[in-house]
Each structure stands twice: as C-alpha cells, then as structure tokens.
Amino acid sequence: MPPTLISPSENDYIIRGVDSNIRADGRGRLDYRQVILETGLITQASGSARCRLGEGTDVLVGVKVEFGAVELDGADEDVAEIKAKRGRVICNVECSPIASQQFAGRGADDFNNELTQMLDRVLNGPQSGLNLEKLCIIPGQHCWIVYIDAIVLDYAGNILDTIFMTTRAALYSTRIPKTIIQERGDGEIEFDILDDVEECERIEGWDKVPVAITLNKIGSRHIVDATPLEELTTEAKLLVTVNKDGKVCGLQKSGGGSIEPSLLIDMVQTGRSLGQSLIQSLDEMLQREENDINLKRAQKERKLGFFAAT
C-alpha cells in the first residue's frame, strides 16, 4: 500500500536527493524503471496489453472493436459532415481499489475521470495519428467504434506514462475484421463482416499513436518516472505526449506549483527526446514479441488426429 501522506523530513530528503541526482532508490533524474510488457492476453478482446513498471505499477488495457452508428450531431453542418465519415474512439480508465488506499470507495472517481479525459483528448483528435476515416464502413451510417479500456491493477507511481505505453501496445495488437460492402440496386448499401481470423487488419496509424512522459518538478529540477513518495513531493507535473516523429501531441500541466518559462522549455525538450526513445524501444519490444509468436506458430504446424491422416 503506497503512503498517501509524506513527512517534512522525507520531503526534504527527496528534494535534496533530486538536486544531487541521487534519488531515494539510487536512480538518476532521468532514469526509467524496467518495463515488463505482454500483449494479446485477453482472448475476447480485439487487442490487449499489460505493462508492469518495475513490478510496481500494473496496467491492463483491452481494445474492443465493435460496429455502430456514426455520430450524426455536430456543432454545425461542417462538423457534422466530417463526423459522419468517421469512426470513433471511446476511452475509459479505471483504478482498481486494491491498487492503493486512495482509490478505495469513491476516492478513485475524480482520478478516473482525469485519466479518462487525458487519454480521450490525446486519442480522439488528429494528433492521435489513428486514421478515423478508415474506420468508417458506410459514410453517414455505420462505423467501427474502438473501445479502449484501461484498468490500473497496482500503483507504484507514474500511472499515466504506463497507461499510454500500454495503450500503444494494445493498439498494435488490435485486429479489425475486414468488411465487404455490397450495393443493392435500390441505393441501399449493405455490408458483411468477414469472421476469418487471418483476414484481419491493423488499425491504420497505430504507429503514429503518441506516448506520454510525465515530468515532475521537484525543487528547481525535474524528474521522470516518479515513485509514490516522489509524486507527493512534486510541486507541478507536466505531461508531454510525443509521437514517433518527435512531434509534441499534447501538453498538460497539473499540480499546484508553478513552472518557470526556461524550465518549461527544458522540460518539453526532455519529454520529447525521452518519448521518442521510449517509442523506439517499445516498438522493438513489440516486434520481438511478434517474431517469437510467429516462430512458435510456425513450429506448431503439426496436424493431429484425423487431420493428420490426409
């Protein structure tokens, strides 16, 4: 159970530790903990992933693709027209009450909302990189709706970064069934969903989905991948979301403290370069995992029983 309060002497110890570049667990300011990643654990979902940050923070993300009606209302006609040709992404983040004492009862409600909003804001716009137009099946009628559900199973600091990288991994493993559109004579359009597992495709633009780096301002410096005690010491947090090309896709500042302009620029720069190398290592890992699975599948192509007879 991570603590929810901090004593002034611990606070001071952490601030001075950050200043001299030795944190309480011996890491430097910009050191990240190891990540244990696994994809495709939920068989019922279209795609899933689970990340554990240093065996502490534990996030499970499931992606489910379902077809539904396109969103028809909009602020004005132009918006409505664009929306009618698009698929949708719906995010939901939930913190399990077993993860931390602060999530028990109704304690997690506000935090869940905050996390959901954050994920939604980043993934539901052009900055997400997902090709939403491709998710439309019949313009003005049917589209794919991508439900992204994240659950925080354990908490040891730095939830947002973990949620974002797990989401990217889950979207990587997501497969959408192919559809065949048939035009009937009377102008009606019908479509069929192919249920062949081999005939599925990835969500276009998964590789452009950004990841997040949270920078915590402690004292006059900033750190990444904070532990719960460090998060309690944090004066201000800056979340930088970065995509593969090193483009900043979103910024959010939270916490009561202030950030000086010079430090802000420095923080965004750090976030950018860290985010880019995070994506690179994440993609390498995903590629490695897929290769392993393909290798295993190739080896197991041995027919059994009466299949073997022919």
Partner 1 sequence: MTFQFLSPKSSSYTNKVDVDGDIDMLLKTERENFETQVVTPGEIITSDTQYMRGHGTFTTEKNQRLSSVAGVVEHVNKLISVRSLHARYTGDIGDLVIGRITEVSQRRWKVDINSRQDAVLLLSAINLPGGIQRRKTEADELQMRKFFSEGDLLVAEVQGTFQDGSSSLHTRNSKYGKLRNGSFVIVPQALVQRCKTHFHTLPCGVDLTLGLNGYIWVSKHTTQTAEELEIYSNENEEIDQENRESIARVCNSISVLSRHFMCINDKMIMLAYEASLNFLVKDLLKLDVMEVIISEVSEKMTLLKAGVRR
* 202: phi then psi, degrees, rounded to nearest 5: -70, 160
Residues 203-242 that bind partner 1 (CB under 8 A): 229
Report, in Å, the least distance between residue 200 CB and partner 1: 23
**Which position among 284, 291, 294, 295 is part of the footprint of partner 1 (CB under 8 A)?**
284
Helical residues (DSSP H) of 261-300, grouped into ranges? 261-299
Please name which of 173, 151, 154, 161 lies closest in space to residue 49, comparing C-alpha atoms: 173
* 304 makes contact with partner 1 (CB under 8 A): no
* 282 makes contact with partner 1 (CB under 8 A): yes
Residues 44-103 that bind partner 1 (CB under 8 A): 52, 54-55
How would DSSP label each residue in 39-102? E---SSSSEEEEEEETTTEEEEEEEEEEEEEPP---SSHHHHHHHHT--EEEEEEEE-TTT-GG
Stretch that binds partner 1, among 14-22, 197-205, 241-249, 299-307 (CB under 8 A): 14-22
* 43 makes contact with partner 1 (CB under 8 A): no
* 25 makes contact with partner 1 (CB under 8 A): yes
* 19 makes contact with partner 1 (CB under 8 A): no
109: tokens are 């409600």
Largest CA distance in the chain: 78
Is 35 strand, coil or helix? strand
- Based on CB atoms, which residue is closest to partner 1, 61 or 274? 274
Rounded Cα distance, 228 and 226, in Å: 7
87 CB-contact burial (10 Å; exposed 0-12 / middle 13-18 / buried 19+): buried
**Which position among 31, 66, 133, 190 is part of the footprint of partner 1 (CB under 8 A)?**
31
Report, in Å, the least distance between residue 34 CB and partner 1: 5
Residues that bind partner 1 (CB under 8 A): 1-3, 5-10, 12-13, 16-17, 20, 22-28, 30-38, 52, 54-55, 229, 273-274, 277-278, 281-282, 284-285, 289, 292
